[in-house]
Structure 1
Amino acid sequence: MFSPEKFNLGNAFKQYFEIIPAFSNALKEEVYRIRHQVYCEDLEFESIRPDRREIDEHDINSLHLLMRSVKTEEFVGCTRIVRSRPGDPQYKLPFENTCAAVLDRSIVDPTKLPRDNIAEVSRLAVVTGYRRRKGEENSPVSISSEDFGTPSQSRFPFIPIGLYLATTELARLNGIDTVFVLTEERLANHFAKLGFSHKYIGSPIEHHGVRVPSMMSVSGTIKSMRSNLRPLYDVIAADIKRNLPETGNGLPGIENEHSEIRPRVTIAVNPAT
């Protein structure tokens, strides 16, 4: 297991990765490119697009995040936070349509929540070279017990956990306190064990494999975060703050079409490093 007494997760993370909020059009193109590679080419969940961009109607009102390799400057993963649409009370988050028949509305009824502080985390994807392990061929991202290493060999799944911590911070910055996720039960259970404020809200459903809808409290996750995750969260929060576009008020939301994108290199490495 990864030992917090011996290793600082934040220091380890910043040796390998950096979180980049994708607010510019150029950076969003990198998001759509990764998603096409993973969802259309690798997994064949979606059809191949002529322009090699996986994009849908929810992207226009989403907050996007990228993870970049420090050593190669390659973008290795992405995810998004789908927000409600101001002035459109009829608009539903993707999971509200997909899971309409399986949601337990005695636990939560999304239609009765303030729409401006709920969102859905979706389209989490990791490029092939960083998830090329047995059992990951049919999943855009995965966590297993072996990702946490052994007493003699420390490991940690920086990519998926880093992306989820990044969505937590970006959601906080945008006043979002409840996020919904539709994901594999195994992945959700690992996040719950790590201290994410997680609750199942419905029955499993077939959606590119068996998925379970759940919800997480942003403030609850931050408040109850385990001590060994706090340095990692702080480093990721600093990345987001440093890479936000200039808005005049310190908050994200203004596109800068001239944001720099560094050269991209493709290599295959151990996904747990």
Structure 2
Amino acid sequence: MTGTFTRFSPELGLVDYFNLLYSVVPAETDELVKETYRLRYQVYCIENEFEPPESSHQMETDEFDDNSVHSIIKYNKSGQSLGSVRMILPNQDDYTRSFPIQKICGHSIFTDRKLFSIYKPIEISRFCLSKELRSKAKPCKHSCIKLASSSAPFSSSLLNQCGPILGLIRGLIQMSSENHVTHWFAIMEPSLIRLLAKLSIYFKPTGSLINYHGMRQPCYIELSELLRRVYSEQPLVWEVLTNKGQFDVNLTNCDERFSGYNLNKISRY
């Protein structure tokens, strides 16, 4: 889609501008998967030094990649990849050894037998955006960008700031739709949790902060609940995340039976 920034219609909405600025690409080929590894190397080994930069191929990988799916966010004007996200699927042989979070957090929700037997949780992992690559992607400065709703809590500058993050969340929703996922686990920086909350994406903190590449908060969310909340509070954001409902698979308006498993009843530490 390189070179599509020629004309804008004032009738376009947030999702249309997002789709002009960015593309969310499932990593469905070996080369695209390797690209996610290179992006992770850039973010985790070079920019933040979370992992040692030992790979001669400049790719960051681990033992969970064999049971994962990945997505990439690209900036359309240049075709530059800005970041990627990994979704780790449950281990079919031993659900208690599915995710990295199970190794570092002892909260019962992350190994709950009933949850794994009835539903399909995953862990969000390697949620990364490169500062260096984003700085090379020139932000859109078109003054003609006006959102359809004057009350929308977004400006073109905010779209440039939050667009890549929304893109990675869209990638997770698309991968969840394709893999019949119901719940997300994650261990996140508190600042990212707060930023997502401003977009009506509310993760539920679970247990205490953990020192894991800095202080991180274990958390979870039921996907249908996430989508219903965003749809209710910020429908423009819901359109971006689901591409106007394309990846929703009726989760926003699902009935109460889908939410019958009360995670709040799970015992604490």
- Relative to the length of structure 2, the TM-score reads 0.72
- Trace 1:1-273 onto structure 2 (pairs within 5 A): 8-48=13-53, 49-100=55-106, 103=107, 105=108, 108-112=109-113, 113-114=115-116, 117-131=120-134, 154-156=157-159, 157-225=162-230, 226-235=234-243
**1:117-161 residue CA offsets vs partner (Å, 9 max, x unmatched):** 0100010111233555xxxxxxxxxxxxxxxxx998752310112
Contact 1:20/1:239 (<8 A) preserved: no
Per the alignment, do residues 236 and 151 of structure 1 end up closer, same or farther by CA in structure 2, a change over 3 Å counting?
Answer: closer
Partner amino acid for 1:230?
W
Contact 2:96/2:111 (<8 A) preserved: no
Partner amino acid for 1:66?
I
3-state DSSP class of the match of 2:243?
helix
**1:85-109 residue CA offsets vs partner (Å, 9 max, x unmatched):** 2223442311111222xx3x3xx35
Q: How far apart in 2 are the matches of 1:190 and 1:111?
A: 28
Partner amino acid for 1:167?
L
Q: CA RMSD in A?
A: 2.9
Q: How far apart in 2 are the matches of 1:15 and 1:117?
A: 33
3-state DSSP class of the match of 1:212?
strand
Q: How far apart in 1 are the matches of 2:47 and 2:157?
A: 29
Identity %: 25
Deviation of 1:12 after TM superposition, in Å, equals 1.2
Q: How far apart in 1 are the matches of 2:224 and 2:247?
A: 19
Aligned length: 217
Structure 2, gaps ≥5 residues long? 1-9, 136-152, 249-269
Partner amino acid for 1:126?
L
Deviation of 1:164 after TM superposition, in Å, equals 1.4
**1:177-204 residue CA offsets vs partner (Å, 9 max, x unmatched):** 1111111112112222322242111100
More helix by share: 2
Q: Which protein is bigger by CA-based radius of gyration? A: 2
Deviation of 1:34 after TM superposition, in Å, equals 0.6
3-state DSSP class of the match of 1:50?
coil
Deviation of 1:224 after TM superposition, in Å, equals 2.2
Q: How far apart in 2 are the matches of 1:172 and 1:58?
A: 20
**1:43-87 residue CA offsets vs partner (Å, 9 max, x unmatched):** 111111111110000011101000111111111110010111222
Partner amino acid for 2:100?
P
